[in-house]
Structure 1
Amino acid sequence: MPHLVIEYAENLEESISIPALVSAAQEAMHRSGLFAPHTIKTRAMPYRHFIAGEKGGSFIHAEVRLFEGRSERDRETLSSTVFNTLCQFAEGVPAVTVEVREIDSGCYSKRLPF
């Protein structure tokens, strides 16, 4: 179930392999040991128009969405693992952030395979 959504400044596509970033982030989620590999969904979304700080620099922001119930320690470790992975790709990127959000399972809908 976990979703990893990576938002980034579109201009980073000139210096970063976004497919490699997505693959590495997916692997980091798997390495956490918190999820079965087939349940992890990772995607990246570029932003063309943005302001990041006073100088308008580039950014990478990842949001991990998962169901409630993980310990604070697990969420912190997951955040750190994803953050460290993103930083490997982010030389010269002034803003790299990761946020872990819990989803209320009662408010989540999913279409199941036939």
Structure 2
Amino acid sequence: MPHFTIEYSANLEDRVEMAAVVELVRGTAIETGIFPVGGVRVRAIRCEHYAIADGRAGFAFLAMLLRLGEGRDLAARKRAGEHIFSELSRYLDPLFADEGFALSFDMQINDKETSWKRNSIHDLLIAEARHG
């Protein structure tokens, strides 16, 4: 259940291709090897209304939150997080050269006792892998 939610300031729309960011995060998450392919979800949400620092219009942000289920040790989570953040950060490097950009990434572990899921995608991917 690795679900990535990316919130970004609307002023990034003309400077970043969000479809490419979403695909980069999806692919990089899978590369880590600790997330089931069928569970990976990445969504980007444009924030129309926001205020940053001293209110300058040119300031921009991208904040990513990963919600995941229990079961991965801290070392594995840190390796995966560092890999994902590093690739995303590298992709967004040009924004850091502009005037004022903030990038953040946080992980949140969902308590299995209060997290419900239903997903037919895992079974579909397994069946496709078996039968080509």
TM-score, length of structure 1 as denominator length: 0.89
| CA RMSD, 1 decimal | 1.5
Corresponding residue number in structure 2 for 1:26: 26
Instruction: Name the CA distance, whole Å, in 1 between partners of 2:84 and 2:9.
Output: 18
- Runs of 4 or more consecutive aligned structure 1 residues displaced over 3 Å after TM superposition: none
The one of 93, 111, 115 aligned to 1:108: 115
Corresponding residue for residue 47 of structure 1: 47
Q: What residue number does 2:77 align with?
A: 75
Task: Flag structure 2 segments of 5+ consecutive residues without an equivalent.
Answer: 121-132
Calculate the TM-score normalised by the size of structure 2.
0.78
Match for 1:92 among 79, 92, 95? Answer: 95
Structure ranking higher in helix proportion: 2
The answer to whether the aligner puts 1:3 opposite 2:3 as a matched pair is yes
- What number of residue pairs does the alignment pair up? 113
CA gap of 1:79–1:52, structure 2 versus 1, over 3 A, is farther
Taking the aligned partners of 2:45 and 2:91, their CA distance within structure 1 comes to 16
Farther-moved stretch of structure 1 (6-15 vs 77-86): 77-86
TM-fit CA distance, 1:4: 0.8
- Structure 1 residues without counterparts, runs of 5 or longer: none
Of all paired residues, the percent bearing the same amino acid is 26
Structure 1 residue 73: Cα displacement: 1.3
Aligned pairs for 1:56-75 (under 5 A) are 56=56, 57-75=59-77
More displaced 10-residue stretch of structure 1: 25-34 or 89-98 = 89-98
Higher radius of gyration, 1 or 2: 2
In 2, Cα distance between equivalents of 1:25 and 1:95: 17
**1:65-89 alpha-carbon deviations (Å, 9 max, x no partner):** 1112211111212221221222133
> What residue identity is the alignment partner of 1:99?
D
**Inter-partner Cα distance in structure 2 for 1:78 and 1:7:** 20
